[in-house]
Amino acid sequence: MLSFLQTLRETLARWWSEFTLQTKLMAVATLGVSLIMSGVTFWAVNSIQQDARLSDTRFGRDLGLLLSANVSPLVSENNRTELARFSHRFYSSTSSVRYMIYADEDGEIFFGIPFSESEVQNSLTIRRHIQLPDDFARHTELPMVRQHLTPDGEVTDVFVPLLHDGKYLGVLAIGTNPNPTVVTSSHLTRDVTIAVFVSIWVMVILGAVINALTITKPIKELLVGVKNIASGNFKQRVDLPLGGELGELILSFNEMAERLESYEEQNIEELTAEKAKLETLVSTIADGAILLDTNLQVVLVNPTARRIFGWEGLNLSGVNILHHLPTPVQSQLGHPLYQLAAGSIPKTLPATDDSLPPDGKHDLPESDTLRDGAEFRLTLSEPTNRTIRILLTTVFDQYRENLKGIAMTVQDITREVELNEAKSQFISNISHELRTPLFNIKSFIETLYEYGEELSVDDRRDFLDTANKETDRLTRLVNDVLDLSRLESCKRYILESIYLAQPVEQTLRTYQLHAKDKGIELSQDIAVDLPPVLGNYDLLLQVFSNLVGNALKFTPTGGKVVIRAYLLDRPSPTEATPSQAPKVRIEISDTGIGIDPEDQDAIFDRFFRVENRVHTLEGTGLGLSIVRNIVERHHSKVHLVSEVGVGTTFWFDVAVSQTESGTTETKELAPAVTEAIGVF
């Protein structure tokens, strides 16, 4: 039973909670009005009943007094026959009397109408004796009245003392019926009131049920559908068999949902295509691109940015960018990023290179400077040593009112920095190299111009000889610079099939006299039947000249310089590949002073000279750099083996020509990227 009541209470509570506030207010108002009306009606009925009871009491008392006055003489005479006749005639003449009972002084009943009937006995519970108060005869001058309810209705009991000549003879008990008209009216009023109350609540309940079935339920279905549409679920439909305006509303809702679903599918296709285009475009950008939201969480990052910061294989979507940036980048960009995301622009930014003031900050002329694009230059050591430039740009909505995110552009400017450094170093070195011979030439010429007549012929000849040598040195420097510039430019060189013996012999003839003057043995060791190689005659001749010239320069008297050329071991025909084609190795060996191991890595750099350390001989410092470029143009690489005090050997390999001697290959040398030196 308790579980049933609990279930019923929960059901009613759930049912009540499903009503709208308006429906609940209407129900409460209806309940209040119906209770007030019912209360007023029952108050009126009760008032009518009270008046009717008062009237019945007065009527019964008056009737009892009247009957007592007529029967008292008969009782005193003990004329019970006439008493019975008179009582029957009186009882039969009116319907208002329910019973009449006579009792003596002791309360013993001696006559009653209709005493013999069972209903009288049952209704009055009279047994032959009326129990009255002891002092009823002495103190009761007026009738005693009471009312009680019987199965046949309410009865008014009147107890009238029988007095004759001042003597108490007994008591007359008479019962009267209520006024039938008043009873009928009050009952009718009560029944009508109950019927009206019940009818009102039946109508309210029926209205609530009809409202729930025909209005509330469809509205709730529409509300759920609207919420689903608002959340992006355009597949929502409302399927209720209703007509009228509500049915038209449901039909219009379904049509709207269908159109939105179709529009969404079309938009998704277009957005997917545009997203694919955008991702393809971003992924092909040479610079790194990172898009952040206002919480500094990664929205998009392209492969270039992943490679620069070493993020390959990491899922960065929705992750705070500062958690994965290298420490130097975090320290430089943390504060500006948070300020940009918060919509505030810092007036100063951290210094990023040596060109900024000593305090490490530079002022922004306007707050929009950072908003439009702040530039940071940083040096990274991980995952590789590189210099990067980071540009921060704010992203706004189409009305440029609300901040949507921050775009980071990451540029790898390592090559640019190296080129700038190389350019600065080249300009510094070439200026120094040009200034020295020019200063010497100018000094000796000014001396000859001002004091020529005072100098002897031998002094003037020495001055002119020195100026001539400095002019030759200046000419060699300019020629070397031009050669290096030409090699590092985009000029293409045709490779031909040549015999190495020819440029070797020409080199020996050129330097034989110089070697003899220094007491150095200059020789060649060319293998017999050496096949022609694929190369450029002039370039190879310049390589031999530079290497032999350096060997003679750093080899003391009594030393040796040898040019060797021999065919490397051929791979078997079944194992041969294009990269394993037959090659000829060329070596230039000397017994000179050798090169320190610490200098061997930098020996091919421009303007690097061993005499910078040993301070013995002069040179431009470009000869070996030219050799390296020429050898690379022949798809090879120059190597060296050196020991201080023993000597040095430079060697490189060139491919054997696959054509007949004297014919020209159609193969060209790949152009190198023009560096800063290419402007000279």
- Between residues 350 and 413, which one has the greater pLDDT? 413
- The predicted-structure confidence for 639-653, as pLDDT tens digits, reads as follows 989 888 889 999 999
pLDDT at position 467 over 60: yes
pLDDT-based confidence at residue 585 (cuts at 50, 70, 90): very high
If one counts the domains in the chain, the total is: 5
Residue 660 exposure: Cα atoms within 13 Å on the Cβ side: 1
Same-domain pairing of 368 and 408: yes
Question: According to the model, what pLDDT value does residue 361 have?
Answer: 39
DSSP string covering 282-318: HHH-SSEEEEE-TTSBEEEE-HHHHHHHT-TT---TT
Structural domain including 68 reads 47-178
- The predicted-structure confidence for 341-358, as pLDDT tens digits, reads as follows 887 554 444 444 443 343
Question: According to the model, what pLDDT value does residue 586 have?
Answer: 93
- Between residues 240 and 324, which one has the greater pLDDT? 324
Residue finishing a domain among 160, 178, 196:
178
Tokens coding 571: 């791979």
Question: According to the model, what pLDDT value does residue 612 have?
Answer: 45
In contact, 582 and 568? CB cutoff 8 Å: yes
pLDDT at position 287 over 50: yes
In a domain, 63, yes or no: yes
In contact, 650 and 547? CB cutoff 8 Å: yes
- Between residues 583 and 110, which one has the greater pLDDT? 583
Instruction: Read off the pTM.
Output: 0.40
Q: Which of 97-106, 159-168, 343-352, 569-578 has the weakest average pLDDT? A: 343-352
- Mean pLDDT, the chain, rounded, equals 75
Question: According to the model, what pLDDT value does residue 367 have?
Answer: 41
Same-domain pairing of 174 and 206: no
Question: According to the model, what pLDDT value does residue 115 have?
Answer: 60
Tokens coding 196: 């009206």
pLDDT at position 317 over 60: yes
In a domain, 42, yes or no: no
pLDDT at position 247 over 80: no
In a domain, 19, yes or no: no
Give the pLDDT mean for 46-61. 78
Residue finishing a domain among 412, 434, 452:
412
Other beta carbons within 10 Å of 269: 10
pLDDT at position 138 over 70: no
In a domain, 13, yes or no: no
Other beta carbons within 10 Å of 37: 14
In a domain, 185, yes or no: yes
Same-domain pairing of 501 and 635: yes
pLDDT at position 442 over 80: yes
Same-domain pairing of 395 and 429: no
Same-domain pairing of 174 and 185: no
Same-domain pairing of 131 and 266: no
Give the pLDDT mean for 438-452. 82
Buried b (16+ CB within 10 A) or exposed e, 498-516: bbbeebbeebbeebeeebe
Question: According to the model, what pLDDT value does residue 77 have?
Answer: 85
- The predicted-structure confidence for 198-220, as pLDDT tens digits, reads as follows 887 777 777 766 666 666 667 77
In contact, 283 and 307? CB cutoff 8 Å: no
Quote the percentage of the chain above a pLDDT of 70: 76
Q: Are strands 298-301 and 647-655 parallel, antiparallel or unpaired?
A: unpaired
pLDDT-based confidence at residue 365 (cuts at 50, 70, 90): very low
Tokens coding 358: 């000593």
In a domain, 351, yes or no: yes
Question: According to the model, what pLDDT value does residue 364 have?
Answer: 41
pLDDT at position 92 over 50: yes
Beta bridge partners of 393: 407
* Residue 621 exposed, middle or buried by CB count within 10 Å (0-12, 13-18, 19+): buried
Question: According to the model, what pLDDT value does residue 561 have?
Answer: 93
Measure the CA–CA gap between 94 and 102, rounded to whole angstroms.
Answer: 18
pLDDT at position 110 over 50: yes
Minimal CA–CA distance to 101: which of 85, 84, 89? 84
DSSP string covering 242-262: --HHHHHHHHHHHHHHHHHHH
pLDDT-based confidence at residue 619 (cuts at 50, 70, 90): low
Give me the sheet containing 583-590, strands edge to edge: 521-526, 560-567, 583-590, 647-655, 639-643
Residue finishing a domain among 412, 437, 469:
412
Measure the CA–CA gap between 259 and 269, rounded to whole angstroms.
Answer: 15
Same-domain pairing of 256 and 379: no
> What Å distances lie between residue 397 and 230, 317, 346, 401, 405, CA to CA?
22, 21, 22, 6, 9
CATH number at residue 632: 3.30.565.10
pLDDT-based confidence at residue 680 (cuts at 50, 70, 90): very low
pLDDT-based confidence at residue 488 (cuts at 50, 70, 90): low
Q: Are strands 560-567 and 521-526 parallel, antiparallel or unpaired?
A: parallel
Give the pLDDT mean for 295-315. 85
Other beta carbons within 10 Å of 113: 20
In a domain, 25, yes or no: no
In a domain, 12, yes or no: no
Beta bridge partners of 652: 586
Question: According to the model, what pLDDT value does residue 19 have?
Answer: 65
Give the pLDDT mean for 299-317. 84
In contact, 537 and 503? CB cutoff 8 Å: yes
pLDDT-based confidence at residue 676 (cuts at 50, 70, 90): very low
Q: How far is CA 345 from the centre of its chain?
A: 24
CATH number at residue 424: 1.10.287.130
pLDDT-based confidence at residue 243 (cuts at 50, 70, 90): low
pLDDT at position 39 over 60: yes
Same-domain pairing of 463 and 535: no
Same-domain pairing of 185 and 293: no
Question: According to the model, what pLDDT value does residue 560 have?
Answer: 93
Question: According to the model, what pLDDT value does residue 302 have?
Answer: 86
Same-domain pairing of 173 and 184: no
Measure the CA–CA gap between 79 and 63, rounded to whole angstroms.
Answer: 21
Residue 542 exposure: Cα atoms within 13 Å on the Cβ side: 21
Q: Which of 45-54, 483-492, 564-573 has the weakest average pLDDT? A: 483-492
Same-domain pairing of 131 and 245: no
> What Å distances lie between residue 504 and 518, 630, 661, CA to CA?
20, 16, 17
Other beta carbons within 10 Å of 629: 19
> What Å distances lie between residue 473 and 469, 494, 580, CA to CA?
6, 30, 42
pLDDT at position 164 over 90: no
pLDDT-based confidence at residue 662 (cuts at 50, 70, 90): very low
CATH number at residue 122: 3.30.450.20
Question: According to the model, what pLDDT value does residue 172 have?
Answer: 84
Question: According to the model, what pLDDT value does residue 240 have?
Answer: 66
Question: According to the model, what pLDDT value does residue 651 have?
Answer: 92
Same-domain pairing of 526 and 643: yes
Question: According to the model, what pLDDT value does residue 140 have?
Answer: 55
For residue 446, which amino acid is it? E
- Between residues 345 and 403, which one has the greater pLDDT? 403
Measure the CA–CA gap between 157 and 203, rounded to whole angstroms.
Answer: 45
Give the pLDDT mean for 547-557. 89
Question: According to the model, what pLDDT value does residue 354 have?
Answer: 41
Minimal CA–CA distance to 496: which of 370, 250, 274, 660? 660
